[in-house]
Structures are given as C-alpha cells and as structure tokens.
C-alpha cells in the first residue's frame, strides 16, 4: 500500500510577520554582541533600526553615520517597535527606560544596577501605562534565571536561591586558586582578557552581584529590597593565605549571593565570599562562569550554569527577551501579589576574618569563637549580621578579608546552641 498526496492538495503558509525594528541605546560590549548576533543569524525577525551612543568621537566598528548621538531621538521615533538599553550609567538608564514606559513602549535592558535601585517604580510604571520591561540580561548573562523564577517557580515556595553571579571576581579567585598568585596579578590578568573593568570596584567589592540578588528577590520571593539592606563584602583584600586556608579543607573561596528563606516566613540575603566544598555544585564553577542553585520545596534542587558575561552570552539573553516581547510575554511578578515575606538581618553568621586591626574585632562583637590563629591573623566565629552591615566600609578600609562558612543562627540564640543550618 502506498500513500501519496492528492494532486489537488495545496500547502499554504502564512506570510512572515514584519521584522521588529530595534532602537539600540548603547554600543559597548552587550550592544555590539547583540548587533553581531543579528548580523550573523539573519532572518530572526529583528532589525536594528537606529543606534544611539554618547560620544561622537569614540572609534567604533561601524561608520559614524550609523549612529545617533541623542538617545532621546529614539524615544520619540514611532518607527521603532522596541527599545534596547545597554548603557552603563544607571541613572541615565532609568531616565530613558522610565520615559519609554510612560509612553507604553516595550523595553529591554541589561542594566542590573538600574533595575535593582528602581524596581518598585519600574513595576508601577508598567502597570500604570501598559508598557513592558524585560531584563533577563541583567542577571547571570546567558543563564535564563529570571524567567525561570517568574514563570516556572512563580507558585512554588523556594527554600533558597544562591549562586555565583559575577564572572569577574570568579575569574580572579579561580586564577588565585590555580596559580597560587596574589590578588593584584590575578586581577590584572582578568582585566587584560576583558573579564574585569579598568575600575573593578563594582565587581570585586560585590556591588554587582548584590544588584542581581535584589532583582532575584522580587521574582523568587516577592520581596522588594533597597541595596543598602543587603550585606555585600568583596574580595579586594583576599590573599594567597586565605586561598591556602580553604584548600587545606578541600574548599574553594567563591563570592556567593544567597537568598535564604528562614523560619517564620523571614527572608535574608547575603552577598559575600564563602567557603564552598565539593558537595556544592558551585565548587566546579570556575573562570568567568556563573552558576545558580535553586532549592524548591517540591521540585527539589535545580542547578543552572553558563557564561555570566561577555558580548555574545549577554547579547543572547537580550535576544531571548526580544523574542519574548514578540510573543507578548511580560513578567507576572506572581509572588509580589501574594502575601509578603518579612526581611530580616537579625541573625548571627559564622565568618572567617583575617585582620590585624583589633578595633574591628571589638566592633563586630564576636558572640562565639570557634577557631583562632594569632600567627596567621585570622579568627573564625559568629558575629551579628547587623554589625557586618554597619561596619562593611570599615572592613574594606582596614584591609580585612571576610568569608562566611555558611552557618547561620538567630541573633537571640545562646552561644552554646548548634547552628540553625548550613545554608549552602
């Protein structure tokens, strides 16, 4: 028996939808990455209609006539279907994005500092004016973590969301662990390879992963936070001594951003160096890669790993948001609409502190000391989280290095009681 199509049968296909015209604001690493992807893979249904940059005199890969030098011109161009904002000025980004949302426009941004600082306003503007803002590229580069939390885990309670959210600091720590080098030459190598900025403060002092953690708190737990509420301690003062201390215990030092659900519906968020052992999937996340661990109440443990920075990885996240906008996707923020969790810093966390500043020891107020080595200048023990928040700038200025062990307990807990949990 044979099958054949009827000679009278016809096959028709709908005409392809016209390409969405993009107004691209910024042509740095991410902007060029997106542009290159669209040039390399034609037929995706997007075209860059206009590009706005700040400086007319900066050498670029496209001729000068390809650019506009006033971003506001793109805001008022009705021929543009979507605006993509990828500049590094958080306040100017907010001005542009908020103006576009007041126009009811569709916008994609990769600016994590802007989103973290202004998320409540951005959510309100979308509701009031009917615009849409997507920002997958703002957190962990190519890893689709925001949409995963917003859509897939929008209803399920999460015990924790933690991970390595910054590729620059992770690259430096990886090199120090592999080569036994000190911080300065490892940072210089990261800068030479383009993994760290000329001014590395945002990455190395953990301001960048703090912004990302704040964004994830809204989607994972429905909690809107301000940056100063979240502890961020960086690696500017890390030394080969600290790396060696971790290696003796078969651990690595990683900058871990952690969102943890505690008893009584309390959330806490910590962004600090942490000792990570081989039982954690983050142990093997090296170089410029990022990794995210989701501990869900019913689905269990999920782990996502990918490149956290770079033009093509981050450009791919922008492309995914463009495709989502074409399908009329928008963030539902389901947990913002649910009963709000509380946010607490009323905790004690166990830290490793290396310093020769005795005043810092007094100011932090150790409640329990579990290890001390005068000759190496370090101490391990529990300190109030609020004390670390209060003195974080002082710790940096004093050249102190702090890493947490993962142990957390209520601030009111007696010193001789076991720690609540190893949250990593």
Q: Residues with catalytic annotation?
A: 212
Beta-strand pair 421-422/401-410: antiparallel
Among left, alpha and beta (phi > 0; psi -120 to 50; other), residue 95 is alpha
Distance of CA 235 to the CA centre of its chain: 17
Beta-strand pair 342-343/266-277: parallel
Judge contact between 291 and 305, C-beta under 8 A: yes
Element (H, E) at 362: helix 358-364
Tokens of 98: 């908020």
CA distance linking residue 114 with residue 349, whole number of Å: 29
Instruction: Work out the widest C-alpha separation in the chain, in whole angstroms.
Output: 91
Tokens of 379: 């101490």
The DSSP symbol for 47 reads E
Query: Dihedral, CA atoms, 198, 191, 209, 173, nearest 10 degrees?
Result: -140
Question: Residue 21: beta bridge partners?
Answer: 47
Helix ranges (H only) for 347-409 are: 358-364, 385-397
């Amino acid at each position: 028996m044979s099958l054949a199509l009827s000679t009278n049968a016809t096959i028709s296909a709908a005409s392809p939808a016209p390409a969405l015209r993009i107004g691209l604001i910024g042509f740095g690493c991410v902007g060029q990455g997106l542009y290159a992807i669209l040039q390399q893979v034609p037929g995706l249904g997007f075209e860059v209609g206009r590009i706005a940059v700040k400086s007319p005199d900066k050498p670029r890969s496209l001729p000068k006539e390809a650019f506009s030098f006033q971003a506001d011109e793109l805001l008022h161009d009705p021929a543009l279907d979507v605006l993509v904002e990828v500049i590094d000025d958080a306040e100017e980004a907010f001005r542009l994005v908020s103006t576009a949302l007041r126009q009811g426009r569709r916008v994609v941004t990769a600016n994590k500092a802007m989103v973290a600082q202004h998320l409540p306003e951005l959510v309100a503007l979308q509701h009031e004016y009917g615009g849409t803002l997507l920002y997958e590229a703002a957190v962990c580069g190519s890893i689709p973590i925001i949409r995963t939390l917003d859509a897939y885990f929008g209803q399920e309670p999460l015990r924790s969301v933690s991970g390595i959210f910054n590729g620059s600091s992770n690259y430096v720590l990886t090199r120090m662990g592999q080569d036994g080098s000190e911080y300065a030459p490892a940072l210089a190598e990261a800068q030479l390879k383009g993994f760290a900025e000329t001014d590395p403060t945002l990455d190395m002092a953990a301001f960048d992963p703090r912004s990302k953690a704040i964004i994830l708190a809204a989607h994972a737990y429905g909690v809107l936070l301000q940056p100063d509420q979240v502890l961020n301690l960086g690696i500017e003062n890390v030394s080969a001594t600290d790396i060696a201390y971790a290696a003796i215990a078969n651990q690595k030092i990683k900058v871990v951003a952690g969102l943890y659900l505690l008893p009584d519906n309390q959330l806490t968020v910590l962004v600090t160096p942490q000792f990570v052992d081989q039982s954690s999937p983050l142990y093997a996340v090296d170089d410029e890669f990022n990794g995210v661990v989701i501990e869900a109440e019913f689905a269990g443990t999920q782990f996502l790993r990918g490149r956290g920075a770079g033009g093509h990885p981050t450009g791919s996240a922008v492309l995914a948001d463009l495709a989502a906008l074409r399908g009329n996707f928008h963030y539902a923020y389901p947990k913002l609409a649910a009963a709000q969790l509380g946010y607490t810093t009323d905790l004690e966390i166990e830290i490793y502190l290396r310093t020769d500043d005795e005043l810092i020891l007094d100011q932090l107020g150790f409640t329990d000391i579990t290890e001390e080595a005068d000759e190496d200048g370090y101490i391990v023990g529990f300190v109030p989280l609020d004390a670390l928040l209060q003195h974080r700038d002082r710790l940096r200025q004093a050249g102190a290095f702090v890493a947490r062990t993962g142990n957390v307990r209520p601030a009111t807990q007696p010193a001789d009681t076991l720690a609540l949990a190893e949250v990593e």
